[in-house]
Amino acid sequence: MKMIFRIIFLSLLFSWVGVSQAEYKCFYGNLHAHTDYSDGVSTPDTAFAYARDVAQIHIQALTEHNNGGSFGGVSYSITPEHYQNLRLIADTMTAPGRFVALAGQEVGSIGSSGFGHINIWEAPGLWPYNNTDLLGCYSWILEQGYPAMYCHPDSSWNSNFNDLYYYQDYDRAMDLIEVINSSSLYEDAYFRALEKGWHVGASANQDNHCKYYNTYTGKIDTIFDWGNRVNYYGNIPLTGVWADTLTKPAILEALQARRTTAMEVSPADDRINLLLSVDDRYQGEHFIRQEGEVKITIEASAATSFKSLYLYTNGIPADTFNLIPASNQTVWKLDKSIGLGTVYYFVKALQTDGDRAWTSPIHIDGVSEKSPVVTWPTPIKNFARIVFTPLPGAISVKAVIYDLSGQKIKEITGSQPDQPIGWDGKDARGRQVMNGVYFIRLEQRSATETRTSLGKTMVSR
């Protein structure tokens, strides 16, 4: 009897705040919703309060449409004044440790020349709308420095971000992609975005408007459902955000780090914890590692049992773990060998009731000890990543590029000590360098050591 109570207790605990062996906890959120500040109903205060008190989720974002005015003769775009007001309300409604309210905008590039919809959270202002300028939008997001997400990414939304074409220069602009929302499944778009090169994490949201056409009365019914909207498949889409604390800065950091799990929840308290780690690095991370064996750990827990876990390697379900008998808590460990080049892993989980969950990917750039500094690609045409053998415990990394005469062409500081350094093939003044051979001096620093490595590459355009 005690055992049964213990299981029930643990299940309830996991359904509220997911806890893993990791330093992070899973907080559940809905990152895509609207009020009458654009084309939804009611006020932001009401929406946040509903999500917090009724739906009992940890994070609610209101992402009002930013269409730069009207569309189809109806103006439902958020005004700059309303947006600033939304930011104030979100700050007021945020209670660290209990609830995080995010103010956002859904850039809605629409019409035949539009590119699709993108959510950006907590940016200080609205994007200066341009219906066709996808690259301008990416560029603006990069300048803002706040997380962003592809919304409902399929071709029904116009060019679908130029068919999710990968622009290396803007890779850091986009953090998440909706794998599922209230209307459709976008799993294919998630897979395709990763295949094309985007480093985006998985998200599942509800796109609440709280307006429903009543076929019996022919009128629009208002039904509040921020945070607990049941979608077309009979599930509640939620995004699990893995953060160390439930505060706005921690949640924004986790979103930008892509530490997320997209999930379908049914019933409402059957929230899923699904966490992927490779050598103690967590989903969403991107790092360089020497080729060889890696240890992969997948932790899964929920109220409903899991039927199967699938480990995807470079977009292909290469390993399957069938739980016999089905279990609502499991840890799946396996060893994999990585070679030269990029490999990414993510996990899809399937519960016995058919609900699904997807982790964000972990990207690993496998390098050889024999080539401490190289560029991908070689030769370089426009953009390359400088990859290197990481120094254990490194706290900073810097690449200095020289031409054959020994002239310093450019100095680039890495954003993370064990992540590739991007080089756009330009010198310090922003001019494309000439064709030829170039040298890279890489300086890595840890608390106790400074390591300098040399490499050579080639530019050929």
Partner 1 sequence: MKRFIIIVWAMVLAHTAQAQLLYWDLPTTAEQVVFGEGCFLQSREPQGLMQNPSALGFIKYRTLAASGIQWWQEVYGGSASAVLPVRRYGTVSLSLGYWSLGTLAGYSEDGRPMGTVQSQAANLGLGYGLVLADAWGLGLTLKSSRLNLPDRYDWGWSSDIALSYKRGLITGSLMVKDLGPDHPRNNDIRYPQNTAYMAGAGATYLDGKISGSAQYNIRKEQGGYPSLSLELAPLPSLNLKIGYEKVPELTDRSPLGFGIEINKLGRRDLSVAYGYRSYGDLGNIQAMTMGINF
Contacts (CB under 8 A) with partner 1, residues 185-224: 197
Among 441, 445, 446, 451, binds partner 1 (CB under 8 A): 441
Told to check if 456 binds partner 1 by CB under 8 A, we report yes
Which of 408, 413, 415, 449 binds partner 1 (CB under 8 A)? It is 408
Conformational region of residue 234, where left means phi above 0, alpha means psi within -120 to 50, and beta covers everything else: left
> Does 369 contact partner 1 by CB under 8 A?
no
State which of residues 92, 136, 437, 450 lies at the interface with partner 1 (CB under 8 A). 437
DSSP state at residue 173: G
Q: Give residues 413-432 in contact with partner 1 (rule: CB under 8 A).
A: 427, 429, 431-432
Q: How far is the CB of 179 from partner 1 (least distance, A)?
A: 22
DSSP per-residue codes, 153-194: -STTSTTHHHHH---GGGGGG--EEEEE-SS-B-HHHHHHHH
DSSP 33: B
Binding status of residue 287 toward partner 1 by CB under 8 A? no
What type of residue is 42? S
Residue labelled with tokens 């608390």 = 447
Smallest distance from partner 1 to CB 373, Å: 11
The candidate with the shortest Cα–Cα distance to 177, out of 252, 255, 100, is 255
Contacts with partner 1 by CB under 8 A: the residue count is 40
Distance CA 261, CA 59 (A): 14
The number of beta carbons lying within 10 Å of the beta carbon of residue 49 is: 17
Decide whether 121 or 344 has the Cβ nearer to partner 1. Answer: 344
405: CB partners within 8 A, 6+ apart: none
Q: Cβ of residue 461: shortest distance to partner 1, in angstroms?
A: 6
The stretch near partner 1 (CB under 8 A) out of 55-63, 115-123, 266-274, 402-410 is 402-410
**Nearer of residues 68 and 379 to partner 1, judged by Cβ:** 379
For partner 1, give the closer residue by CB, 6 or 431. 431
* Cβ distance to partner 1 smaller for residue 92 or 435: 435
Exactly one of 3, 406, 447, 448 binds partner 1 (CB under 8 A); that residue is 406
Look-up of token digits 């049914």:
266
Among 187, 353, 403, 424, binds partner 1 (CB under 8 A): 403
Is 457 a binding residue for partner 1 by CB under 8 A? The answer is yes
- Residue 377 sits in the site that holds partner 1 (CB under 8 A): yes
8 binds partner 1 (CB under 8 A): no
Q: What are phi and psi of 73, to 5 degrees?
A: 80, -5
Strand, helix or coil for residue 84: helix
Q: Is the peptide bond before 379 cis (omega within 30 degrees of 0)?
A: yes
323 backbone dihedrals φ, ψ, rounded to 5°: -85, 110
Binding-site string for partner 1 from residue 319 to residue 348, where x marks contact by CB under 8 A and - marks none: ---------------------xxx------
User: How many residues in the chain?
Assistant: 461
Angle at 230 between CA 229 and CA 235, to 5 degrees: 130
Stretch that binds partner 1, among 137-145, 202-210, 264-272, 377-385 (CB under 8 A): 377-385
Q: Which of residues 217-256 bind partner 1 (CB under 8 A)?
A: none
Which residues lie closer than 8 Å to 442 by C-beta, 6 or more apart?
A: 372, 373, 386, 388, 397, 398, 399, 400, 452, 453, 454, 455
Interatomic CA distance for residues 268 and 441, integer angstroms: 54
**Does residue number 405 form part of the binding site for partner 1 (CB under 8 A)?**
yes
- Give the whole-angstrom CA distance, residue 88 versus residue 83: 9
Q: Of the ranges 101-109, 278-286, 295-303, 397-405, which one interacts with partner 1 (CB under 8 A)?
A: 397-405
Please report, as a single letter, which amino acid is at residue 30: N
What DSSP state is assigned to residue 377? Answer: S
Which member of 54, 334, 404, 413 binds partner 1 (CB under 8 A)? 404
Candidates 31, 102, 374, 394; binder of partner 1 (CB under 8 A) is 374
Contact residues for partner 1 (CB under 8 A)?
197, 340-342, 365-367, 371, 374-379, 387, 402-409, 427, 429, 431-432, 434-437, 439, 441, 452, 454, 456-458, 460-461
